[in-house]
Each structure stands twice: as C-alpha cells, then as structure tokens.
Amino acid sequence: MSDVDEADRGVRYQHMSHWGMFEAQVSDGEVVAVHPYSGDSDPSPALGNIAGSIRNKARITGPAVRRGWLENGPGPSSARGSDEFVSVDWEELTERLSGELRRVIDTYGNSAIFGGSYGWASAGRFHHAQSQVHRFLNSLGGYTRSVHSYSLGATGVIMPRVVGTHWKLFARSTSWKVIAEHTELLVCFGGVPLKNTGVNHGGTSDHPTRGALDALRRRGGCIVSFSPLRDDLHGAAERHAPVPGTDVAIMLALAYVLATEGLHDTAFLASHCVGYDRFEEYLLGRSDGVPKSPAWAEQISGIAADELVVLARRMAASRTMVTVTWSLQRVRHGEQAPWMGVTLAAMLGQVGLPGGGFGHGYGSMNEPGLAPVPYPLPTLPQGLNPVPDFIPVAAVSDMLLNPGAPFDYDGQRLSYPDIRMLYWAGGNPFHHHQDLGRLRRALARPETIVVHEPYWTPMARHADIVVPSTTSLERDDISCTRNDPLLVAMHAAVRPYADARDDYDTFSALARRLGVGEKFTEGRSSQQWLEHLYEQWRGFVRADGGPAPIFDDFWTDGQVRMRTEDDLVLFGDFRADPATYPLATPSGRIEIFSADIDSFGYADCAGHPRWYEPEEWLGGDRAQQYPLHLIANQPRSRLHSQLDHGATSRESKIKGREPLRIHPDDAAARGVVAGDVVRVYNDRGSCLAGVVVDDGVRRGVVQLSTGAWYDPLDPTDPESLCVHGNPNVLTADVGSSSLSRGCTGQHVLVQIERYLDELPPIRAFDPPTITSRSARGPVKWS
C-alpha cells in the first residue's frame, strides 16, 4: 500500500478529514504542510490544524493504566481525572483488558457494558472507531447502546413522526443547484452559517454553499436570516436578531398572518397533511385563549410585529423555502422548531416544489444541498447486538447516576441499566456532554472505564485503561459518503507514532485472547478488509453500469467518480403523487397533528407544534440572576474538540482562552474590553474565556463555541473552574423533552465578570503524570 518512506522526498499523500480532502506533505514522521484538494471550491480553514498533529505533545505514546485501578483493582473511584498513570506494554494491556471484559461479562452480563461510544472519530470507512468498537463488543455478545446523536437528538425522534424520516431531510434534501435556480425567498432560522459547512461526517471533496448563496443572490433571490449572530448569514438582505430560543413564536406569528389573511394553501393542507384544523385551533387561540399573533410574538422574540406581517405576505407571494438549522433543536423543546418549520412550509403549500418548501440543516453541515449518490457505502459491518437495553445518547450521566431508574422516551417507559464498564473509542464526552461537573460525578461510578484515543483528551484522563490509537494519517483507508461524488483513497502519510496502534489491531488481539478472533476479523488483515469492502461496493456500481476500476487501479488513481442525483427536490415525488409515494408516517402525510404523540400525554410535547417557554431564556426568571444568554455553538476554527492544539484553533484564542463574543454595550456595562479574560459563570460551574467585542452579536447574548479542552484549575474538584473555556461546565444536563431526551447544550444563561486574578496556565495539552513501575516499585494486582 502507501510507501511512507517516500516521505522525505516531497511526496504528497492524498487524504480525507471530516473537514475536507487534502494532500499531506511530510517530513521526518510529521505532516508539515497541508494542501486542499484542487477540486474544492471553498476549503475549510480547519485544515490548518493538521500540520504538527502527529508528533504533538498531546499524543498518547503507549498503553497506560490508572494507578489507582492497577493498585486497588476495578471499582468506583472519584480519583478519575486527577490520578496518575502507569505505562504498561501491549502484552500486559491486552491481558488485563481482556480479563476485565471477561470478568464483567461473566459477573454482570453484557448489558453491564456501555458501548454507545458516541463521537465523530475520524473519516475513513474501515478504521471508523465506532464501527470497530461496536463490531468488537458484538462479537463478545453485545452491549448497552445509545440511540440518535448529539447533533439531532430531537429531530431524530420528531421528524420520523411528522414526515416519516429524519435522514432524508439531509441526505435527499433539495440541492443547492435547485435552490440557486428557483428559490425567490430563502427564510433561514439560525442562518446558513458557512463556518459549519466546512464539515461533513465522513469527509467531503467540495464545499458549494458559499457559491450557491452567491448564485441565488445574483439571480435576484432574497435571503432573510433570523439569528442572534449577524455572521450566521453572510450577505443576507434582511436580518432579524431575535431573543434566542423564540423562533417557534416567530414562525407561529407568520403562520397566524397566513391563516387570518387567507394566504394558506388549504388544498395542499387537505391533500398532503393531517391535523391542520387541530393546530389552527391553537394558532388562532381558540383552544387556549391566546392568539399567536405578530403582536404576541413581538413580546416574546423582540421582532417587530409589522415586520412579521410584511414577511408573511411576501412568503405567500414568492417561491419560498423555510430552513431551520439543527441548533434550533439542540435546546429544550427542540422538537418544536423543525415541526413548526414544516408546518409553516406546508401552509405555504410549496413542499416538493423546486426551490420551495422546507429545509433542515442547510448551514449546519455540508451535506444538506449536496446531490446524493445512489450506492450503499463500503462500511464495516457491525454484527448483531442481542442486548435490548439502550439509552437516548445524551442520557449518559443520568444512566450512570441512576441505575434501575425509569425514564420516558418516545412513548415508552424504560429503565436505566446497571453499568459496570464504560467503553469509549472515537468520542470525547468532555466535549459533547452537558454539565461536566455532573458528568465527572457520573464517571466516578463504573468499575472500569476504557478509552481508545490518539490524544490525552480529558476523557482519556478519566479512563482506567488508556489504549493509544493511531490517527487516520497513520493508516490506509477509504472515504465515501452518501452525498459526495468521490470515493477516495486515503493514503497513509506517516508511520504509526510511538507505540500507537490501529484500533482494529487492538480489537483483533483482544478478540483472539477472548476466543472470538475469527468472528471479529473473519480472517482478514486491514489491507484485506479494504479490498473486501471495495469489492462489495464495486459490485453495486457495476450493477448500475457505472465505472468501477479494480482495487489496485483505484488505489493508484486515488479516486472513483460516481453518478449523483443533481436535481433533487425534497419530497418531490410525494407532492406529485401522494398515493404512490406516501410518507412513512401513520397517515402517509405530513402530520401537523400526531395522534400518537398526543396519546403519550407528555406535558412537554403535545400533539402539534406549539410554543413552550424554556427554562434558560432571557424572558424568564432565571435571567434576573444570569442575564446573558450564552450560545454554545460549533467552533469556526476546528471540528469539535479535535486538534484544539492545532494552529488555526490556537490562533483564534485570546491569552490562550477560547474567544467569547459580546455586544459592546454588554461589555461596557461590565467594564470589559477586547482582549480581557472574563469568568463566565452560573450555579453549575464556571470557566475563563477571552473577550471579543462585536456589535454583530445581539444585546444580551454572548457566544462561546464548544471545543476548548476541559482544563480544571483543581482536577480533584468536579465543579472546578475550567481555565480554558469549555462551555459545557455551564450547560444543563436536561433532555429536550420526554419524547426525545435530546442534547440541549446550545443554550444556557450565564453572568460574566472580569477575571482579575493571575491567569492560570493552560495544562490541557500536557500529558498527565505517567510513571513506569520501577519509579514507584512493583504494583499489586488484586
């Protein structure tokens, strides 16, 4: 395969990351420069984080075991996160880890292992860490899993009930090409932030969003943005900065104007939808005495009523698409914004028309708007998991803290399993989860925590058994996604660093030790798996008459171009012929009213979209104490917490802290100027951040992206100040609703003050203390 010895001769290695395709230039075992793929019209700045990432000081150089675990054996421990580590060799690691897996399974059963292992890991279909860990645990008899994602916790539950799918909303969305050609009015709730379209799960060879928005504007199309941040829609003709969390009230008011002025499409509502009448009772205030008028919405959102009236009329008179970013469902009552967005689009009657209707996730990720390929992906099969237990993904702390406790989820009453072992590969709960103090107390509960990681992330520091993984640049792989025309050879650029191993090799060795080697590997090496997955995929392409070279030619050429469906219109077939192409809902239609959801009787999710007042918003009592609404959105400078130590991410920091944007008036009221370090706090926790003053931020709102590595001033204290700026020390660990229990990390109320003490150093990227046995004498094993 790739000859990494070519490295020093200026050879460039083609590779793929979640934030784009590139060529890596290598010297002395390190990537020294990265060149975006020549076919990419708008490469992501996050590529700037890759150079220097292989031999970084934050790399895990070899297997390690937490000293307390080694000395005392498995068991709950609040020393996780502050204990030191003992380095062990691969032989000992394999023996101890396989022994512990055997013990937990024999003593408590497979459901005692939580293997949900949420996270993005790296691009590449075969070495995909979640697929690897799930396949491994399945070959041992299964594990407690998690469902849905931090990205789309509420959408993943509500949209299948409303439109019969959630993934088709992104993977088969109306293409940018069609929008650029047909849309007259693009009304965007949450904007279309270009910073996010750099990223796509599994990779991407092009970034067309900026070009498509420009083309739409050149054609005379008009873009309207609702967002508390001005730069969420670069170049919008009309901007509204609502109180965060009030978009549903705004959409209701637009719907109210349509209904009361007779501008709604009653024929479409009758032929393609169910339950409009029930919803209209609420909309007009017949069921609760509160008409959802523009004046009502103005009180809640701060958007002038007359502007909403004018906009609603324009929407009815134009080819209009209503889009809702994913951020709007990563909040309490997160179901309501996408549900109300579809309802508004249904009232306009343009669902399924070119350039009209509904979109969800334009500007959230690169995928929406990209043309799909018609073939299945060459993914590693994960096997079958016979364990029935599962949790909604963001209930991980709840589960660990409350074994046996009942919880509601999607109409079911379930209970949390009793977890003894946590197995994580390819994710960082200290990035993705809320209320990190609570998470730390939850992580003290299991008997053993295993983490596979290339880097000493905060999650690796909380592990008992630390397994060093390679990064994707250290191995050959194949990249392919459902909405990119290229199947791409990811050529290894450097040899594995220090004592790091591919997750596949670690799992193969463990599987052999546990007597399931053949089941896990099917007798294939990594190289043979790549060829096997490629051949399977090639079969689909050939059956379709497409070009499909043999593996060796693909590997040498580096890519295969596939056919794509370029003129896709979301739900176009359903619109044209609802009897032949019904939606996969109980009625086959858009469910503006869902009898099933209504029957669950949830206080926080009724049978039709409605406005719920959230706990964390500027209009509520809590804002008296914590008067700033913090938006914890996706970082511009990186993907999540990945390569936070990279150049682009580091350059964005202020005195080493994550930047926090604040309106000039709010800064002045606190005596804060640009470049200051502030303490951001509420009753859950506190962190430091570096101030950027920006009048593009709504008054009363501050923005602090996720992704700074959690860096506690006092690692023994779960509620410690994070000196680096991780907003999840502040966010509430509450679910979106009883229906979905999705992540609600996007919004939180805070207060801010200037930080006057001496600035503590950033230690997040320094490895923990690692001793060898000889340094402290032999370690007992109980």
Ligand X SMILES: Nc1nc2c(c(=O)[nH]1)N[C@H]1C(S)=C(S)[C@@H](COP(=O)(O)OP(=O)(O)OC[C@H]3O[C@@H](n4cnc5c(=O)[nH]c(N)nc54)[C@H](O)[C@@H]3O)O[C@H]1N2
Contact flag: residue 335 with ligand X (CB under 6 A): no
Which residues from 434-453 bind ligand X, rule CB under 6 A?
452-453
Task: Choose among ligand X, Mo ion, none what residue 745 binds, the Cβ cut-off being 5 to 8 Å by kind.
Answer: ligand X
Select from 7, 13, 6 the least CA-distant residue to 34. Answer: 13
Contact 488, 14 (CB under 8 A): yes
End-to-end C-alpha distance for the chain, whole angstroms: 44
Output 302 or 355, the one with its CB closest to ligand X: 302
Question: Which residue of 204, 209, 642, 682 would you call a contact of ligand X, by CB under 6 A?
Answer: 642
CB atoms within 10 A of CB 149: 19
- For residue 299, CA distances in Å to 250, 304, 578, 619 come to 10, 9, 39, 9
Rounded to whole angstroms, the Cα distance separating 176 from 81 reads 46
Q: Between 222 and 284, whose beta carbon lies closer to ligand X?
A: 222
- Is 69 a residue that touches ligand X (CB under 6 A)? no
The dihedrals phi and psi of 762, each to the nearest 5 degrees, come to: -85, 120
Interface residue with ligand X among 77, 155, 227, 350 (CB under 6 A) is: 227
* Structure tokens given for 8: 């020093």
Which of the listed partners (ligand X, Mo ion, none) does 746 bind, with a CB threshold of 5 to 8 Å by partner kind? ligand X
Smallest distance, Mo ion to C-beta of residue 192, A: 17
Query: Rounded to the nearest whole angstrom, what is the least distance from the CB of residue 615 to ligand X in the complex?
Result: 14
Q: Which does 503 bind (CB under 5 to 8 A by kind): ligand X, Mo ion, none?
A: ligand X
551's enclosing H/E stretch is helix 551-557
Least distance from Mo ion to the Cβ atom of residue 498, Å: 30
By CB under 6 A, tell whether 156 contacts ligand X: no
Q: Is the dihedral angle over the CA atoms 399, 404, 408, 412 positive or is it negative?
A: positive
CA distance 464 to 118: 18
**Residue 155 binding target from ligand X, Mo ion, none, CB below 5 to 8 Å by type:** none
Binding mask 462-491 for ligand X (x = CB under 6 A): -------x-xx-------------------
Residue 232 touches which of ligand X, Mo ion, none (Cβ within 5-8 Å per kind): ligand X
295-324 as b/e: b if 16+ CB within 10 A? ebbbebbbbebeebbebbebbbebbbbbbb
Q: In angstroms, give the least distance from the CB of 101 to Mo ion.
A: 29
State which of residues 183, 301, 327, 594 lies at the interface with ligand X (CB under 6 A): 327
Q: Which of 413, 405, 411, 323 is nearest to 361 (CA)?
A: 323
Residue 189 found at the interface with ligand X (CB under 6 A): yes
The rounded distance, in Å, linking the Cα atoms of 171 and 365 is 11
Q: 3-class SS at 722?
A: strand
Q: Between residues 151 and 744, which has the closer beta carbon with respect to Mo ion?
A: 151
709 is catalytic: no
| Residue 323 interacting with ligand X (CB under 6 A) | no
User: Binding of ligand X at residue 726 (CB under 6 A)?
Assistant: no
Length in residues, the chain: 782
We find the least distance from the C-beta atom of residue 454 to Mo ion, in angstroms, to be 20
Number of residues that bind ligand X (CB under 6 A): 65
Antiparallel, parallel or unpaired: β 145-147 and 273-274: unpaired
Select the residue interacting with ligand X from 68, 81, 156, 245 (CB under 6 A).
245
Chain residues that interact with Mo ion, rule: CB under 5 A: 151
If the CB atoms of residues 151 and 293 are measured against Mo ion, the closer one turns out to be 151
Please report how close the Cβ of residue 15 comes to ligand X at its closest, in angstroms: 13
Burial of residue 622 (CB within 10 Å: 0-12, 13-18, 19+) is middle
Return the number of the residue (242 or 275) whose C-beta is nearest ligand X: 242
CB-nearest residue to ligand X: 745
635 binds ligand X (CB under 6 A): yes
CA distance 490 to 559: 9
Q: What is the H or E stretch that residue 773 is in?
A: helix 773-776
Residue 631 or residue 680: which is nearer to ligand X going by CB? 631
Spatial separation of the C-alpha atoms in residues 600 and 310, rounded to whole Å: 38
Q: Of residues 122, 130, 521, 720, which one binds ligand X by CB under 6 A?
A: 122
Segment contacting ligand X by CB under 6 A, of 203-211, 271-279, 439-447, 635-643: 635-643
Alpha carbons 445 and 166: distance in angstroms, whole number: 34
Q: Please report whether residue 727 would count as binding ligand X according to CB under 6 A.
A: yes
Active site residue 118: yes
Question: Of the two residues 431 and 491, which places its CB atom closer to Mo ion in the complex?
Answer: 431
Per CB under 6 A, the list member of 706, 720, 737, 740 interacting with ligand X is 706
If one asks whether residue 264 binds ligand X (CB under 6 A), the answer comes out as no
Alpha-carbon distances, residue 576 vs 54, 271, 567 (angstroms)? 53, 11, 15
For the CB of residue 116, give the shortest distance to ligand X in the complex, in Å. Answer: 11
Tell me if 592 contacts ligand X by CB under 6 A.
no
Catalytically annotated residue among 19, 37, 69, 118:
118
Distance CA 172, CA 189 (A): 20
**Three state DSSP letters for 311-337:** HHHHHHHCCEEEEECHHHHCCCCCCHH
Pick 380 or 583: Cβ nearer ligand X: 380
DSSP letter assigned to residue 577:
-
- Give yes or no for residue 689 binding ligand X (CB under 6 A): no
Which of these, 508, 403, 440, lies nearest to 112 by C-alpha position?
403
The residue annotated as part of the active site, out of 37, 120, 256, 362, is 120
Residue 204: contacted member of ligand X, Mo ion, none (CB under 5 to 8 Å, by partner type): none
Residue 359 interacting with ligand X (CB under 6 A): no
Q: Which is nearer to ligand X, 115 or 427 (CB)?
A: 427
What contacts 93, CB < 8 A, 6 or more positions away? 63, 65, 465, 467
CA distance 579 to 119: 39
Shortest Cβ 737–Mo ion spacing (Å): 19
Binding-site ranges for ligand X (CB under 6 A)? 46, 119-122, 127, 129, 150-151, 189-191, 193, 195-196, 198-199, 226-229, 232, 242, 244-245, 247, 325-328, 330, 364-365, 425-428, 431-432, 452-455, 457, 469, 471-472, 503, 631-636, 639-642, 706, 727-728, 731, 743, 745-746
Query: What residues act catalytically?
Result: 118, 120
